Structure 1
Amino acid sequence: MPAVRHPRGFDVDAAHAHLARADKRLAKWIARVEPVIPDPRWRKPFDTVDALARAILFQQLSGKAASTIVGRVEAAIGSTKLHADTLGRVDDATLRACGVSGNKLLALRDLSARSARGEIPTSREMAGLTDDDIIAALVPVRGIGRWTVEMMLMFRLGRADVLPIDDLGIRKGAQRIDGATDMPAPKLLAARGERWGPYRTCASLYLWRIADLANAGKAPVKRSQE
């Protein structure tokens, strides 16, 4: 039996129709926010190692600070691609001088080593892997957690059925649509989101927008892979 190939992206109109039928509370909020449309990144080629390296460098920093550090690293390695071979052109002291923290340096070196051993699937290879397979392949990398991989699944690969239950914005959005006093615990959110499948990615995008309505006037949150 041939392996299943997973498409990049999904039918947004079908997702809207399903969510409207499956969850009347969510449907009312969807009518109030900017609609989700197909994301051009779903069709754009990308390099897994480069994307993960950038995700590591952006962790726990403002977008401006992280972009500055990434620019310094690119200048130091003489390339706009963060790969095992390009990162290997400079020593640890050089990367630290670019503003890379000790923990992030260790994470980049671990990513590079795993890439050199063929342990990091390419974007083409990931087309033949399930979401769970991709998560299992990438979370062993130092500094890469499930949430970071979920962002790749959503924003880079356009997988249709991803619900990041540990994300505070997602939980805040779910709290708002249900008019709850507290944010739902991740386990309860997972159960709550069963009705959104197989389009939980679309529901997640709306939950973020709904949560952002409570933060009007504040700078939007920049998420990994965005």
Structure 2
Amino acid sequence: MPLHRRGFDVEQALAHLQRHDRHLARWIDRVGPLDAPPGWRRPFDPVDALARAIVFQQLSGKAAATIVGRVEAAIDSRRLHAATLARIDDAGLRACGVSGNKALALRDLARRELAGEIPSTRQMAWMHHDAIVEALVPVRGIGRWTVEMMLVFRLGRPDILPVDDLGIRKGAQRVDGSQRLPTPRELQARGQCWGPYRTWASLYLWRIADLADAGGATTPRSQA
């Protein structure tokens, strides 16, 4: 298995997409250049990232950030993992605003970390992205979409297409001028020409969806 570095050559990815999909290429020209996600360059702790993803689920970014800040203060640490989460009981988590189900998910994550079931960043560097998904989705509260956001925004894997993401589907619908959203299966087939840079296509599809839905305002899609 080859070593996977965080991030990839975005200029090469852009040229590939423009060369292989004329419909997307027109939108790329309209949107303009995108910056690489800043999370590619930041220190990355998979357990901490997963814990934050659990807290952020189904909440606005502002509300979730407030809850995370309370938890950090309660455990006296900026890192959420087994050792620090052990400093607070479930009642304490609830007092911070963490729901019962999310508290259970955080405990399951901590248990799996202690059991050695959560790959480290170093281990992930030698794993195919499908293997990373397979390793992490057994964690309570962690689904494929959550892992895909990690693969896109933190690990910088080049060929990730989150076909269940509504924004991705809306972007593809607009690129093709379709009257309906593509199904995940249709989008999977549609995106074959974007490989091996489907991540960069995804970032453009999100931006295209933002242009349609929010007057150009960028929708946060990762707590990273």
| TM-score greater than 0.5 by the shorter chain | yes
Aligned with 2:42 (options 44, 57, 73): 44
Structure 1 gap segments, 5+ residues each? none
| In the alignment, structure 1 residue 138 sits paired with structure 2 residue 139 | no
Deviations 1:45-74 (A, max 9, x none): 211100000000000001111011001101
Aligned with 1:57 (options 52, 55, 58): 55
Q: Report how many residues are paired.
A: 224
2:3 counterpart letter in structure 1? R
Aligned with 1:182 (options 155, 180, 183): 180
Shift of 1:223: 1.3
What TM-score comes out, normalization by structure 2 length?
Answer: 0.97
CA distance in 1, matches of 2:69, 2:125: 30
| In the alignment, structure 1 residue 19 sits paired with structure 2 residue 17 | yes
1:6 match: secondary structure:
coil
1:215 counterpart letter in structure 2? D
Provide runs of 4+ in structure 1 moved above 6 Å: none
Shift of 1:217: 3.9
CA distance in 2, matches of 1:185, 1:105: 33
Shift of 1:218: 7.4
Identity of aligned residues (%): 70
Match of 2:149 in 1: 151
CA distance in 2, matches of 1:107, 1:81: 16
CA distance in 2, matches of 1:177, 1:38: 21
* Contact 1:57/1:100 (<8 A) preserved: yes
What TM-score comes out, normalization by structure 1 length?
Answer: 0.96
Shift of 1:123: 1.1
Aligned with 2:81 (options 80, 83, 92): 83
Q: Return 14-23 or 160-169, whichever deviates more.
A: 14-23
Structure 2 gap segments, 5+ residues each? none
Shift of 1:21: 1.0
